[in-house]
A and B are shown apart, each in its own frame.
Chain A
Amino acid sequence: MIPLLRAQTRWECPNCPATHVTAGTGAQLPFHECPGLRGILAPYVEAGTRCKVEARDREDYAAGELGLRTDQDGRPVMSVVTTRDDGQDCAVFPAAASAQQEG
């Protein structure tokens, strides 16, 4: 019998001690609410990656947008940027498009 080895991807966060493991490779980028990044939903990075992960506050008025993501102080955050030696990733947080019917 030949044992099958299942690949794993190990993830970590440069801003807090959180770690994560996903089965296989090419898995969708995992996220966590990061206590080291104002409580914002932040992506993990593959273990061993030299990088910084930073939140970017919304640059426009909130304008009553529904479901904006905010930091622990209630400030709307529009994206989290991961800057690596060889590039930059970006996770954006759009609001929900919305319509309201008042009865």
Chain B
Amino acid sequence: MAWATSNISAAMVSNFFAPAAALTYTGDTVNVALYNNSVTPNKNDTFANNAYAAGTWAGNEISQAGQWAAGGVALASKTNTFGSGTAQIGAANTASGNNATLTAVFGCLVYDNTLAAKNAFCWNYFGGSQSVTAGTFTVVWSGSGILQFTIT
């Protein structure tokens, strides 16, 4: 299998109602780790398996020390907003160092790096294979945020 869409896990939503871990978006360090196309993101997998270095996210990470290091780059200027039937989290664009060489990057995992279990908030698909050579890799987050809940 491979990447097909950006998504969250149902278990992450369930965690709101019976917290097994205190996912704290604005208070904790939240990292963005990059992956190749050999992962199989699964919205029905467990909360424990949708975490950094667990489940399908164990292995297949794309990284380069000093540029986009293993474990990912921390989000900056995080926001948590709601209104007009939506709730969303966002952040400033996330960038590597300016001498990165990263090949065949297909998507990223956004996870709570403060928690020991490193549970994920969501994963975001880049729509195809992305690469940089001796340059800067920048994730420009959507105007709809990194993750959005819509109540209609």
Contacts and interface: CB of A to CB of B under 8 A. Distances in A.
Q: Is B one of A's binding partners?
A: yes
Interface of A: 28-29, 31, 41, 43, 56, 58-60, 63-69, 76, 78-79, 82, 84, 86-103
Contacts, number: 154
30 contacts: A29-B95, A59-B129, A60-B4, A63-B5, A65-B125, A66-B148, A67-B143, A69-B142, A87-B134, A88-B131, A88-B134, A89-B132, A90-B130, A90-B131, A90-B132, A90-B136, A92-B105, A92-B139, A96-B141, A96-B145, A97-B6, A97-B122, A97-B123, A98-B6, A98-B8, A98-B147, A99-B8, A100-B149, A101-B149, A101-B151
B135 A79 contact: no
Contacts of A90: 130-132, 135-138
A11 to B, nearest CB: 13
A83 B148 CA distance: 33
Question: Which 7 residue pairs spanning A and B have beta carbons closest together?
Answer: A67-B144, A59-B128, A87-B134, A78-B127, A67-B142, A97-B122, A94-B124
B150 A88 contact: no
A10 B130 CA distance: 27
Q: Which of A66, A86, A96 has the most CB of B within 10 A?
A: A96
Q: Which of A63, A78, A93, A103 has the most CB of B within 10 A?
A: A93
